[in-house]
Amino acid sequence: PTAAYVHLPFCKRRCHYCDFPIVALGESSSNAGSTMESYVDLVCQEIAAERSPSRGALQTVFFGGGTPSLIPIPLLQRIIQALEAKHGFSRDAPMEISMEMDPGTFSRDYLTEAIQSCGINRVSLGVQAFDDDLLKLCGRSHCLDDVFQSIEWIKDSLQNWSLDLISSLPHHTLASWRKSLEQAIAASPAHVSIYDLQIEQGTKFGNLYKPGMDPLPSDDDSAEFFKLGSSMLREAGYDHYEISNYARKGFQCRHNLVYWKNQGYYAYGLGSTSFVDGKRVKRSKRMREYAKFVEALAAGSPVLPESLEGSRTEAVLPESVEDRILDTVMLALRLAEGIDLRRFEAEFGSELAGILCDGLAEFVASGNVVFLDASRECTAERAGAVYGRLTDPNGFLVSNEIISRLFCLV
């Protein structure tokens, strides 16, 4: 793999929609520093003990969270160093080192340091909403002023940054959502991610709200939000390159593309999932068990699923061909590029490729799927089709329907 994900789970507090593996530090935790330090120790240990070192150097690194911008610069530096020492950083292609940052958690100096001494060259800013009431309702630890402040600092130092928004929040109306989009566009980021709010069990939102029920917008409204986002951002010059991601030319997130192209990636840290040598390994969400896992790994004990029993680190068996087929279909159809039919045929055979094409063709008449030729022009002829993709926004909106239908066939 040439991509590495590092999970930095610390947050000031848990947001009301979040079911991610995070560690809430509280607003003024006295020993937060040492907690973070021992965690980074573990992560560096895990990186050092990696069994399948990269054959080529890393090309992308992604610090996700949690709130990575809470990690002190020296600790961040250590992780970067550990990664470079283990895998090397690519010199052929420019490195992409992304970091998620939350408004209100970092200073201008912190940002400068991160860029200059850690090599961070892409920032994903968790704005989520342009509305103080909504931010409060979501349990975010920042306010709208923090958002504008952060945007200003980032724009002063970086071009490659993403603005992350959540749609279909409680009380969202088409008008308030339009306003959020206008403000996002006005901030002029290189990249925009829009996540449709998912109500997860066990979260505060999960206890308070039912999907599609007041005060959450209805499914039909959510669909309108998605369409509005798609049309406004495309008008503003963004390419809707993945179901929930938009980018100006040249600013697609290379790290995330690795996921969607079903390529391998390393992962380090609590609750993270790696995909190396055809195996997906999910680390425990519990700190103690994750620590045991790292310990076993560092001690050189064979890290087989059996030896990890009880550690809640799920080791997934090597993916079967069927898994690979389904993962490929599921992930590729998230992309505007669509599924590369010739590559699919080369990998899985012409019979299956034929079935896939037939399955996709069922959705052409309704305008949810289009076939594209080698020059990415729409083609009605199956014979000349090189790509099959979901249309934007209608096909994307019902992607689960289409993908699960295709699952039935292949």
Partner 1 sequence: MAAWRALHRRFAPTIRPAAFVWSARWSSNAASAAAKNIDLSKFPVSLIRNFSIIAHIDHGKSTLADRLLELTGTIQKGKGQPQYLDKLQVERERGITVKAQTATMFYDLKNEDDGSSEQYLLNLIDTPGHVDFSYEVSRSLAACQGVLLVVDATQGIQAQTVANFYLAFEANLTIIPVINKIDQATADPERVKAQLKTMFDLEPEDALLTSAKTGQGLSEVLPAVIKRIPPPTGRCHLPLRMLILDSYFDEYRGVICNGAVVDGSIKKGDRIASVATGQTYDVLDTGILHPELTSTGMLQTGQVGYLIAGLKATQEARVGDTMHHANVSVEALPGFKPAKHMVFAGIYPADGSDFEALAQAMERLTCNDASVSATKETSAALGIGFRCGFLGLLHMDVFHQRLEQEFGAQVIATAPTVPYIFEFQDGSKLNVQNPALLPSQPAQKIVSAMEPVVVATIITPSEHVGALITLCSDRRGEQLEFSYIDSQRALLKYRLPLREVVVDFYSVLKSITSGYASFDYDDDGYQEADLVKVDVLLNGQAVDALSTIVHQAKSVRTGREIVDKLKKVLDRQMFEVTIQAAVGSKVIARESISALRKNVLAKCYGGDVTRKRKLLDKQKEGKKRMKRFGSVDIPQEAFHDLLKQ
The contact set with partner 1 (CB under 8 A) reads 5, 64, 193-198, 219-220, 222-223, 226, 243-244, 256, 258-260, 265, 267, 271-275, 280, 282, 316, 323, 326-327, 330-331, 334, 363, 366, 368, 396-401, 403-405, 407-408
We find the least distance from the C-beta atom of residue 268 to partner 1, in angstroms, to be 12
Cβ-based nearer residue to partner 1, 190 or 267: 267
Number of helices and strands in the chain (H, E): 15, 17
Residue 181 CA to chain centroid, in angstroms? 20
We find the least distance from the C-beta atom of residue 134 to partner 1, in angstroms, to be 17
Cβ-based nearer residue to partner 1, 323 or 345: 323
Cβ-based nearer residue to partner 1, 323 or 373: 323
Cβ-based nearer residue to partner 1, 209 or 226: 226
Listed residue (68, 19, 14, 62) closest to 40, CA to CA: 68
CA distance 21 to 271: 6
Contacts of 51 (CB under 8 A, 6+ apart): 297, 303
Contacts of 355 (CB under 8 A, 6+ apart): 409, 410
- Burial call 299-335: b when 16+ CB within 10 Å, e when fewer: eeeebeeeebeebbbebeeebeeeeebbebbbbbbbb
We find the least distance from the C-beta atom of residue 264 to partner 1, in angstroms, to be 10
Which three-class secondary structure state does DSSP give residue 204?
helix
Cβ-based nearer residue to partner 1, 248 or 280: 280
Cβ-based nearer residue to partner 1, 37 or 319: 319
We find the least distance from the C-beta atom of residue 116 to partner 1, in angstroms, to be 27
CA distance 14 to 214: 23
We find the least distance from the C-beta atom of residue 176 to partner 1, in angstroms, to be 18
Report H helices in 130-195.
132-137, 144-157, 174-187
We find the least distance from the C-beta atom of residue 2 to partner 1, in angstroms, to be 13
We find the least distance from the C-beta atom of residue 28 to partner 1, in angstroms, to be 30
CA distance 98 to 93: 15
Residue in this structure with the two tokens 């799920």, named with its chain if needed: 314
Cβ-based nearer residue to partner 1, 186 or 409: 409
We find the least distance from the C-beta atom of residue 312 to partner 1, in angstroms, to be 15
Cβ-based nearer residue to partner 1, 111 or 360: 360
CA distance 387 to 341: 5
